[in-house]
Amino acid sequence: MKRWCLFLSFAFFYLLGSVSSARAQCDTEPFVQEALNFLKEKNFNFLKSYKIDGQRGTNKEIEYSYVFSTGTTYMIFVNNGKKNAEGVIVTVEDAERNEIAKSFVGDTYVPAVQIICNRTGIYYLRFTLVDKRHDCAAAVLGFKR
């Protein structure tokens, strides 16, 4: 009997561990799908998607870079399941680290920013996670000419 109790306790804690780790995972797939629909509505072609996982407050900022090309319009759309992607801010900086766009205007969140690029170079996309309760998000980058 004692053996069975120990075995069941072991199995229970093992299962509990699996469930809690699965829940803690950040699944961005549904966010990406919604973001793709947004790009499509705006007549943008999909280029890249980014996973933004704050890991419950562990990561406050996540940065990616991309080469933007002259004569191309780029759109970055952020989706964390909240209206206007509240809690996530994307800041776009040029190669000299000058801020050129931000998805937080005044005191309002906006889900997307676009850049009509006329200067080729590396651009930095920095995602700042303000609200750790909603720090699992996806962003997509689209382009049109």
Partner 1 sequence: MLKKYLSIALLLSMGLLASCGGGEAEQQEGEGNSQTNGTTENTVNVEEALQKLSNDFTLLRAIPSPIQMTSLVQESGAKYDPAILHDANKAKNYGSDFKRALNVGVYSTDLGFAHLYGKNQDAIDYLVAIRDLSTGLKVDSYFDFERLKQLTESNASIDELLAETLTSLQTMKDGLEKENRGDITVLVVTGGWVEALYLGCHVAENAKNKQQLLEHIADQKVSLDNIVKLLEDIQAINPEAKALYEKAKQLQDAYANVSLKVETISKDTVIDGVPTVVQEDQSVELNFTEQDFQKIYSIVKEMRRLIVE
Cα 113 from Cα 82, distance rounded (Å): 17
45 binds partner 1, rule: CB under 8 A: yes
For residue 49, which of 28, 70, 24, 71 has the smallest C-alpha distance?
28
Out of 27, 57, 118, 131, the only residue in the binding site for partner 1 (CB under 8 A) is: 118
- Provide the minimum distance between the beta carbon of 55 and partner 1 in the complex, in angstroms, as a whole number: 16
2 interacts with partner 1 by CB under 8 A: yes
Residue at 8: amino acid letter:
L
CA distance 41 to 130: 28
Token pair belonging to 75: 């759109």
Site residues, partner 1 (CB under 8 A): 2-3, 6-7, 10, 32, 36, 39-40, 42, 45-49, 51, 64-72, 75, 92, 100-101, 103, 105, 110, 112-122, 143, 145
